[in-house]
Copies of this chain bind each other. A is one copy, B any other.
Amino acid sequence: MLNLVPFVSVDDMMRLVLDVGVERFLVELAGTIEEDFRRWDSFDKVPRLASHSPDGVIELMPASDGALYSFKYVTGHPKNGSTGRQTVAAFGMLADVATGYPLLLCEMTILTALRTAATSAVAAKFLAPKGARTMALIGNGAQAEFQALAFKALVGIDRLRLYDVDPAATRKCAANLQGLGFDVHASASVAEAVEGAEVVTTVTADKRNATVLGDNHVGAGVHVNAVGGDCPGKTEVHAGVLRRADIFVEYPPQTRVEGEIQQLAPDHPVVELWRVVAGEAPGRRDARQVTLFDSVGFAIEDFSALRYVRAKVAGTGIGRDLDLLADPDEPRDLFGMLLRAEARRAAAA
């Protein structure tokens, strides 16, 4: 049936993630992202198309490697929590370039948290100090646990120092991570959280230029995983940290506008993460170096995530088919399809 598009709902995605196991899912997804980063040049790339409003942003993020095409619809609405909604909600689609026909429609609220965490961990594999075990996790909202587990599975982090302006978020995060192999410390301040941390992850949801991470919070040798600053006017890290750090980014034309580096000159030197993954640029060079991954999220990561999910659900029975595309008996006879539906109704009446 040409008209049917496999659909992975939120429940289906939870089933898939639990069947695979969260950590294995993150490791395999990170592997798929690395695969696609190594063939970066084979992709059609554009900065995402954002529609801003006073309450948030709605973005479309397309990518294509010439054989597959993907796009993600993703929102960023910091005030959504007050009505029980997600700050970041998303869904996406994978399609066949040759026909334009969709191959998969997929929830991506959960998947975005997973791919963001997997990408952060890929960066940290190349940038965090060797043998790093302690991570400060600033911002304990919807994405925090995913970040923690990705860093455990891919980097070896097993000591967490949590901080959030809202202690309830920290309690939620600590409770969720219980029994998952971490030594968890709830901190009363950012300064306390970063004590002894080799990796500092910032993942807050404030839509403004905040200084979540001050210049004095980042010592020599630390890797900063700056996840939360991801749209114009939204940053988390003090410019002083940025000036001391070697900065790694996904796609410069997008990160210059949306990332932490919107605080810097437009020609401030940055390294594209894919070059590090592909072995074309060095990652961490020495133990005193401050490295910073200015994560904003790029469409190729969503492409990888959809590609991974499509392969992973194949043959599992997870998901179901949606009647999304018209499929007349004769392709040029779209109107005739309507007429035949009418004839069937008349016959049934």
Contacts and interface: CB of A to CB of B under 8 A. Distances in A.
Interface of A: 2-3, 7, 9-11, 14-15, 17-18, 22, 44, 46, 49, 51, 53, 55-58, 60, 62, 64, 66, 69, 71, 73, 75-77, 80-81, 83-87, 89, 91, 93, 95, 97-102, 107, 109-110, 113, 140-146, 169, 172, 176, 322-328, 330-339, 341-342, 345
B109 A326 contact: yes
Contacts of A324: 9-10, 91, 107
Contacts of A142: 331-335
Contact of A58 (B69, B86, B176, B322): B69
15 contacts: A2-B84, A10-B326, A18-B338, A53-B98, A56-B100, A60-B71, A86-B325, A91-B325, A113-B335, A140-B332, A142-B331, A142-B332, A142-B334, A172-B332, A176-B339
Contacts of A69: 51, 58
Contact of A97 (B22, B53, B322, B335): B53
Contacts of A58: 62, 64, 69, 95, 97, 100
Nearest to A75: B100
A132 to B, nearest CB: 22
Contacts of A53: 64, 66, 97-98
B10 A3 contact: yes
Given A53-B66, A60-B62, A331-B86, A326 B99 contact: no
B99 A85 contact: yes
The secondary structure that dominates the A interface is: mixed
A312 to B, nearest CB: 16
Contacts of A51: 44, 62, 64, 69, 97
A332 B169 contact: yes
A59 to B, nearest CB: 9
B89 A325 contact: yes
A337 to B, nearest CB: 7
Contacts of A330: 172
B110 A338 contact: yes
B87 A331 contact: yes
